[in-house]
Amino acid sequence: MALYPLERAVTAVYKKKLGYRWRRFRKCIKTCQDPLSYQKLLEQLCQLLLLEERGYLKIYYGDESGFCLDPCIAYGWQPAGEYRKIAPKKSKRLNVFGLFSKDNDLQAYSSTDTMNADLIMAFLDDFAGQLTQKTVVVLDNATIHHSQEFEDKIPQWAERDLFIFYLPTYCPHLNLIETLWRKIKYEWLGTPG
């Protein structure tokens, strides 16, 4: 038992000599992707983007997110020897379903209720009523986007020139609205201090 700290120190020195560094492991969803499915759907998305560029259709990237005035800030720069304190605030969460296009058009629907398939379908029904050209909504593979009721609505939306395109699984980097959510949460809402 007394050798355990010494053994750890020797192991650490040995690993450093081998080029290892003590660092935090990072989660990587790329290993969860199916490469064939990813490539096929990426090619289809590129074809849609080409059609949009030529003016045949419009693409919106859809997703849900939640916002509140109590930011989640775990780390930040602080002067040595000082600790910045954040007063805890409880605020009601605002859930938003957004549709975001490459030309920065945002259609946002909000609710204080939990996002579910019925709400998303109602929002998409409203959005479909405003369309003036064929439109593709790019969605991730969240469960609420694949409920039976949701999938039953897809042909009705297609009759109104609204089409649904599902991204490959584990590919948030292909959904432009994810960048908007990140900017809102971590930059625009501000940080204390």
Spatial strand order of the sheet with 106-111 comes to: 106-111, 94-101, 58-67, 135-139, 162-166
User: Using 50, 70 and 90 to split pLDDT, how confident is the model at 1?
Assistant: very low
Summarize the confidence of residues 98-110 as an average pLDDT: 95
Q: What is the pLDDT of residue 134?
A: 97
Rounded to whole angstroms, the Cα distance separating 20 from 40 reads 37
Rounded to whole angstroms, the Cα distance separating 124 from 162 reads 9
Residue 31 lies in a domain: no
The mean of the pLDDT values for the chain is 84
Residue 29 lies in a domain: no
Q: What is the pLDDT of residue 100?
A: 97
Q: What is the pLDDT of residue 184?
A: 85
Residue 22 lies in a domain: no
pTM given for the model: 0.74
Q: Is the pLDDT of residue 86 over 60?
A: yes
Give rounded-to-5 percent helix, strand, coil for the chain. Answer: 40, 20, 40
CB-based burial of residue 150 (10 Å sphere; 0-12 exposed, 13-18 middle, 19+ buried)?
buried
Residue pair 52/134 in contact (Cβ under 8 Å)? The answer is: no
Residue 62 lies in a domain: yes
Residue 173 lies in a domain: yes
Q: Three-state SS across 84-100? A: CCCCCCCCCCEEEEEEE
Q: What is the pLDDT of residue 193?
A: 41
φ, ψ at 52 (rounded to 5°): -65, -45
Residue 49 lies in a domain: no
Q: Is the pLDDT of residue 32 over 80?
A: no
Residue 44 lies in a domain: no
Give 55-77 pLDDT, tens digit per residue.
999 999 999 998 876 655 555 66
Radius of gyration of the chain (CA): 23
Rounded to whole angstroms, the Cα distance separating 87 from 174 reads 36
Read off the amino acid at residue 57: L
Give the CATH number, domain containing residue 166. Answer: 3.30.420.10
Count CB neighbours of 64 within 10 A: 23
What's the total number of domains in the chain? 1
Residue 84 lies in a domain: no
3-state secondary structure of 60: strand
Q: Cα–Cα–Cα angle for 56, 58, 59, nearest 5°?
A: 130
Q: What is the pLDDT of residue 77?
A: 63
Q: Which of 23-32, 133-142, 175-184 has the lowest mean pLDDT?
A: 23-32
Q: What is the pLDDT of residue 157?
A: 97
Give 165-192 pLDDT, tens digit per residue.
999 988 888 999 999 988 888 777 755 4
φ, ψ at 146 (rounded to 5°): -125, 15
Its domain, for residue 99, covers: 58-69+91-193
Share of the chain above pLDDT 70, in %: 74
Summarize the confidence of residues 43-60 as an average pLDDT: 96
User: Using 50, 70 and 90 to split pLDDT, how confident is the model at 104?
Assistant: very high
φ, ψ at 95 (rounded to 5°): -95, 135
Summarize the confidence of residues 130-140 as an average pLDDT: 96
Q: What is the pLDDT of residue 9?
A: 63
